Structure 1
Amino acid sequence: MAIDNATIARRYGNALFEVAQEQNSLAETAAELNELKAALNQEPGFVNFMTSPQIDEKAKKDTFSALTANASTLVSNLLNMLFDYRRISNLEAIIDEFNRLYDQERKVVRAVVRTAVELDDQQKDTLAKKFAEVEGANQVILDAKVDPSIIGGVIMQSASHIYDGSIKTKLEKIKRLLLKR
């Protein structure tokens, strides 16, 4: 029976998080994994190369050795295990799961904020502080997006909450009320 990608990411990400926590290296491991993820994003063909049956195993091992040369023991062991078990295609999802657990540990919430116009830094800081109070978080990291279709106001979305204060939504509510009569 095949295991789905989400289950693989949860299991490996959780195991990696627990080992990093035991070794008191959460911050270092997170930084190293995020560097690795950035490198993967710059080389989107890497996973295809590593998983392709047409590529010689020696070429894959040589490439992989270069990748793990400067890695910490923990990350190197993870990468080698993923390579040996042919799960390298799950690497990005495993990193995302580790980051989710790391954020949870530090009470960091990631949220997307959509506004009709670009927000300045002070507005972003104010929104982040208010949203942190609502979420009970130590820090909120905002991903600001401009969406002119909301007309005005703000929509904030985290993994657990959606707050919609957009003019578009308010107009839609008024429209529904008028159409009921």
Structure 2
Amino acid sequence: MAVTNPMVAPRYAKALLEAAHDQDQVGTVHEELQALSSIFKDNPTILTIFDNVRITADDKAALMTALSKNVSPLVANLLKLTQQYDRFGALPAIIEAFNRAYDEEAGIIKATVTTAVALSANQADALRSAITERFGMKSTQLEQIVDPSVIGGVRIQAHGSVIDGTIKHRFEKMKAALLAD
């Protein structure tokens, strides 16, 4: 796979987001990129096909046609450009960078919540509202993880912050304090 400059993904993502705004296609591009991301997760070898000299040009063209079949011209051009400039393997990073910019622009925060037992719908809604307010965003997407080892309480990871109100964390702090003396 071609070596990719780490700045490629943010540059491509920014240019794609700007172009999508210019053409009033932000939502469409976002949906199409999510579909492509799923394809790449399910079939990671697709990302290496264009670097493989054993695969014929016709097979590569057929793959590009299949990937571009039901997408907007913006996403089709992204696929074509990344392939043309040997950056096809950077597509997952480009999609991730696009998603971050899209979420930030839309005021969406993604949070991971770890609890000992599954949250009820009401608890999840209350937590979602609290996180949204705490970080000054418009909405929160929650990923819930059930981990019985936390014993009780809630651990929230969002926006590069960790708020750990679990009993396990409190026990660890007590243990550290006792051992420090």
| Short-chain TM bin | over 0.9
- Report the alpha carbon displacement of residue 5 of structure 1 after superposing the two structures with TM: 4.7
- Report the alpha carbon displacement of residue 3 of structure 1 after superposing the two structures with TM: 6.9
Hey, what does 2:87 align to over in structure 1? Answer: 87
- TM (norm. structure 1) is 0.92
Aligned pairs (5 A) from 1:135-154: 135-154=135-154
Same amino acid, percent of matched pairs? 37
CA distance in 2, matches of 1:129, 1:162: 17
CA distance in 2, matches of 1:109, 1:37: 19
8 A Cα contact 1:5 1:90, kept in partner = no
Aligned pairs (5 A) from 1:105-144: 105-144=105-144
Q: Which runs of 5+ in 1 are unaligned?
A: none
CA distance in 1, matches of 2:141, 2:47: 29
Hey, what does 1:62 align to over in structure 2? Answer: 62
Task: After superposition, give the CA deviation of every residue in 1:19-47 in whole Å (9 maximum; x if it has no partner).
Answer: 11222211111011111111222222211
Task: After superposition, give the CA deviation of every residue in 1:94-147 in whole Å (9 maximum; x if it has no partner).
Answer: 011111000000110001111111122221111111011101011010111112
Q: Which runs of 5+ in 2 are unaligned?
A: none
| 3-state secondary structure, aligned to 1:6 | coil
Hey, what does 1:158 align to over in structure 2? Answer: 158
- Report the alpha carbon displacement of residue 162 of structure 1 after superposing the two structures with TM: 1.1
CA distance in 1, matches of 2:103, 2:37: 16
Residue 169 (structure 1) aligned with residue 146 (structure 2): no
| 3-state secondary structure, aligned to 1:118 | coil
- Report the alpha carbon displacement of residue 71 of structure 1 after superposing the two structures with TM: 1.4
| 3-state secondary structure, aligned to 2:83 | helix
| 3-state secondary structure, aligned to 1:75 | helix
Hey, what does 1:97 align to over in structure 2? Answer: 97
